[in-house]
Amino acid sequence: MAKLSRVIGTTSQIALIFVQNNSLTTGLGLTGLTYASSGLVCYYKRNAASADASVALVTATLGTFASGGFKEVDSTNMPGVYEIGIPNAALASGADSVVLCLQGATNMAPVLLEIELTQVNNQNGNNFGLAYLPQGPTQVKKNQAIAAFPFPMFNSATGTPQTGLTVSASRSIDGGAFAACTNAPTEIANGFYSIALSAADTNGNCIAFRFYSSGAQDTPYTLVTQP
């Protein structure tokens, strides 16, 4: 079974699959299939769904997404390689994996493609696309208040900026136990919030902050202070 990983909610995804010719013992690919080939069917099953779902196969242009689009790549130089447009509904939130199955055409070995649905993007070199992670420690003066320290919050299911939260804040000073910050965060806009950090909140050499709320991902942040 071939495997991929994609971020939950990703849309317009084209996958490359290999269709083996099961009438041969050489492992060569089966050429000449189209979306309308007799007997060819496609279904997918999300791990949290109660049933599988059929995919209506349609014609497609190579490299251009069409839901259910099925197109041979190159019968001469890449025999057996096809493109399939994965329906957006297959990758939507509410599941963490989905299996796509194509089968039924003459001399076609069944094709199974498993897609892990993740919260992170392993093709993004910037902290795996997790914008809420700091790029590095922020330096401030030790035992100095910060009037408006900003931070983002993200929906726990979709990873998108989350508004309307009641956010709690706690901090660990120099590896000590987490305790509530002096003040409560307030909302700014567009998924951003801010907190007035007191001198007591920054009275250490290295302070770990945790911002959290029901329905949202925790936002961690680290401050390395200067004397």
Residue 92 and residue 59 in one domain: yes
Residue 139's pLDDT band, with cuts at 50, 70 and 90, is low
Instruction: Give me the mean pLDDT over the 50-73 stretch.
Output: 97
H-helix segments, 4-132: none
Looking at residue 7, what is its pLDDT?
86
Look at the block and give the residue holding tokens 């726990």.
156
Centre a 10 Å sphere on the Cβ of residue 178 and count the other Cβ atoms it contains. 12
Residue given tokens 């390395």 in the structure block: 224
Residue 138 — very low, low, confident or very high, per pLDDT cuts 50/70/90?
A: low
Residues for the chain: how many in total? Answer: 227
Whether residues 142 and 112 share a domain: the answer is: no
The pLDDT of residue 121:
67
**123 lies in a domain?**
no
Same domain, residue pair 19 and 92 = yes
Q: Assess if residue 130 is contained within a domain.
A: no
Distance between CA 74 and CA 95 in Å, rounded?
A: 34
Do 8 and 102 belong together in one domain?
yes
Of 118, 145, 173, the one marking the end of a domain is 118
**What CATH number did the domain enclosing 45 receive?**
2.60.40
Question: Beta 111-118 vs 97-103: how paired, if at all?
Answer: antiparallel
79 and 168 share one domain = no
* Mean pLDDT calculated for residue range 189-202: 94
What are 109's two structure tokens?
């070995």
Over range 33-51, report the average pLDDT. Answer: 97
Average pLDDT over residues 10-31: 95
Residue 207 CA to residue 169 CA, distance in Å, equals 13
Full domain range(s) for residue 212: 135-226
Same domain, 57 and 108: yes
Amino acid at 185: P
Same domain? For 91 and 193 the reply is: no
Query: Does 210 map to a domain?
Result: yes
Span 180-187, mean pLDDT?
Answer: 97
User: Cα–Cα–Cα angle for 125, 153, 118, nearest 5°?
Assistant: 45
Same domain, 24 and 96: yes
Number of domains in the chain: 2
In a domain, 126, yes or no: no
Distances (CA, A) of 101 to 41, 58, 118: 8, 16, 20
What pLDDT does residue 129 have? Answer: 55
pTM (global) more than 0.85: no
**To the nearest whole percent, how much of the chain has pLDDT over 90?**
80
What's the average model confidence in pLDDT over 31-52?
Answer: 97
Q: What CATH number is associated with residue 215? A: 2.60.40.10
Is the pLDDT confidence value at 37 over 60?
yes
Q: State whether 24 and 106 are in the same domain.
A: yes
- Between CA 60 and CA 43 the distance in angstroms is 18
For residues 104 and 16, membership in a common domain is answered with yes
